[in-house]
């Protein structure tokens, strides 16, 4: 059921249930992060492999010290500047965080969502929330409560509706290898903004085998038909005769029916494009095209996160 009753969400979470929650990036599937049984339900509902760890969500920067042993200077700077916000920090965990949350890893992923509804929820709860994106494993992340209802509605008792997500792609994940800051997932906080504050960072590209951060699996965010990246005019010619869906950055393609052409941002704005990406992919997927043709954005700012999601949508599962 979808609703806006924070008390109901709170009561369910306190009794060890999973609840859909809004964040500024994407909707999450939340449970008490300190309760292994509740956390196990997240993996079951999502059909998520147990080796893929969960992000722990908490209300404010001060709470980070409760769950982590050490906050490097650069992490502190980032936390002060960008939290709450679309940034997740990988930090050495304290024992209070169950191994199931981190899939046995020594580090825990911590995030402070910037959404008024979930902020209130977290402030009123006495425990943090473990939450992955609220989609079945491997599918497109949800950016509205209805998206969650469509796919997980029969398995989740309550989905807290906070409206459409403002950012629209998941948080940027940053950890440290020794002293070196490393980005493990490009996301809603632009790498340029991070580098401006703490200097150069390394960026790990995803790999299909033995991923360090399993969200780096190559195939992800996959709609029901093949996604092909390239020059859309050329691809349309090549796929003539098929029912074609298009995801373009700014331009509408006149040979494609308007409902089958998702334009991410007519004015070419990266923030708007990110906000429309997953909902656009879902809309197209519902219309069951035989193939989706998409173009990459310039590799700057949020364009990098958008391109990462498009590339992974275009990769066939191995």
13-45 per-residue burial string, b: 16 or more CB within 10 A, e: under 16: beeebbbbbbbbbbbbbbbbbbbeebbbbbbeb
CA dist 6 and 124 (Å) reads: 10
SS3 at position 306: helix
Q: Which one, 109 or 274, has the nearer CB to ligand TXA?
A: 109
Angle at CA 182, nearest 5°, toward 179 and 184? 150
The interface partner of residue 307, options being Mg ion, ligand TXA, none and the CB cut-off 5 to 8 Å by kind, is: none
Q: Tell me the number of residues near ligand TXA by CB under 6 A.
A: 26
The interface partner of residue 276, options being ligand TXA, Mg ion, none and the CB cut-off 5 to 8 Å by kind, is: none
CA dist 250 and 54 (Å) reads: 35
Sheet holding 244-248, edge to edge: 227-229, 291-294, 244-248, 261-263
Residue tagged 């070196």 (tokens): 180
Which two tokens mark 48? 């998520």
Candidate residues 17, 92, 107, 251; the one interacting with ligand TXA per rule CB under 6 A: 107
Residue range at the interface with ligand TXA (CB under 6 A); choices 65-73, 129-137, 202-210, 271-279: 129-137
- CB count within 10 Å of CB 263 equals 17
Q: Which one, 133 or 143, has the nearer CB to Mg ion?
A: 133
Q: Which one, 86 or 245, has the nearer CB to ligand TXA?
A: 86
114 binds ligand TXA (CB under 6 A): no
Candidate residues 25, 102, 133, 151; the one interacting with Mg ion per rule CB under 5 A: 133
88 binds Mg ion (CB under 5 A): no
Q: What track of x and - describes contact with ligand TXA for positions 28 through 57 (by CB under 6 A)?
A: x-----------------------xxxx--
Interacting residues toward ligand TXA by CB under 6 A: 23, 25-26, 28, 52-55, 88, 90, 102, 105, 107-109, 111, 113, 131-133, 170-171, 173, 213-215
């Amino acid at each position: 059921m979808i609703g806006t009753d924070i008390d109901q969400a709170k009561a369910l979470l306190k009794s060890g249930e999973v609840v859909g929650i809004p964040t500024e990036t994407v909707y999450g599937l939340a449970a008490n992060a300190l309760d292994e049984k509740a956390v196990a339900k997240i993996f079951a509902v999502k059909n998520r492999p147990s080796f893929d760890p969960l992000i722990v969500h908490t209300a404010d920067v001060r709470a980070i010290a409760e769950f982590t042993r050490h906050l490097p200077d650069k992490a502190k700077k980032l936390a002060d500047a960008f939290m709450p916000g679309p940034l997740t920090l990988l930090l050495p965990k304290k024992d209070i965080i169950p191994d199931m949350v981190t899939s046995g890893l020594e580090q825990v992923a911590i995030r402070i969502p910037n959404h008024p509804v979930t902020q209130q929820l977290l402030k009123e709860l006495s425990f943090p929330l473990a939450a992955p994106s609220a989609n079945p494993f491997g599918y497109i992340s949800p950016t509205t409560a209805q998206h969650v209802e469509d796919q997980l509605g029969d398995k989740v008792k309550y989905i807290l509706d906070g409206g459409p997500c403002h950012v629209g792609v998941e948080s940027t994940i940053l950890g440290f290898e020794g002293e070196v800051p490393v980005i493990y997932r490009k996301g809603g906080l632009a790498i340029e903004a991070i580098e401006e504050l703490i200097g150069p960072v390394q960026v790990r590209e995803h790999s299909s085998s033995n991923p360090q951060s399993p969200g780096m699996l190559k195939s992800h965010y996959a709609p029901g038909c093949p996604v092909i990246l390239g020059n859309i005019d050329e691809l349309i010619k090549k796929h003539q005769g098929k029912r074609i869906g298009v995801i373009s950055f700014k331009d509408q393609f006149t040979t494609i029916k308007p409902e089958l052409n998702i334009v991410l941002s007519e004015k070419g704005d990266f923030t708007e494009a990110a906000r429309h990406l997953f909902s656009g992919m879902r809309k197209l997927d519902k219309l069951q095209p035989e193939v989706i043709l998409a173009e990459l954005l310039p590799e700057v700012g949020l364009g990098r996160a958008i391109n990462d999601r498009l590339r992974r949508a275009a990769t066939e599962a191995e």
